[in-house]
Amino acid sequence: ELKVEQNPLFLSMQEGKNYTIYCNYSTTSDRLYWYRQDPGKSLESLFVLLSNGAVKQEGRLMASLDTKARLSTLHITAAVHDLSATYFCAASSLNAGNMLTFGGGTRLMVKP
């Protein structure tokens, strides 16, 4: 059974600082997703990572994947208040029809 764990669960940071969210998954997975969720809203897709060593960047967010370690990271550079949200990673396998298994989420609060 695929399990996904994120840490930290909660992250309070100052604007301008850098930080990393970690996502571990338990079994071989073809795909690793990162989503953002604002309070009371649905999920917004940020990144899809497919292969070992994959790195994707959008603005102040950069995601990477290490399939050997079964680890993905979401790095935040020079955080701004607008990045405050909950971030989820999710893993899936094409063999399992791409049904997503989510981590518990990381609630990010960026303080001015």
Residues that bind other proteins (CB under 8 A): 4, 31, 40-43, 45, 48, 88, 90, 94, 96-105
Q: Which is nearer to other proteins, 10 or 78 (CB)?
A: 10
For the chain, the 3-state helix, strand and coil shares in percent, each to the nearest 5, are 5, 55, 40
Q: Which is nearer to other proteins, 77 or 105 (CB)?
A: 105
Cβ contact 2:53 at 8 Å: no
Q: Supply the minimum distance, in Å, between the C-beta of residue 48 and other proteins.
A: 6
Question: Could you tell me the two tokens for 97?
Answer: 């029809």
Q: Supply the minimum distance, in Å, between the C-beta of residue 36 and other proteins.
A: 11
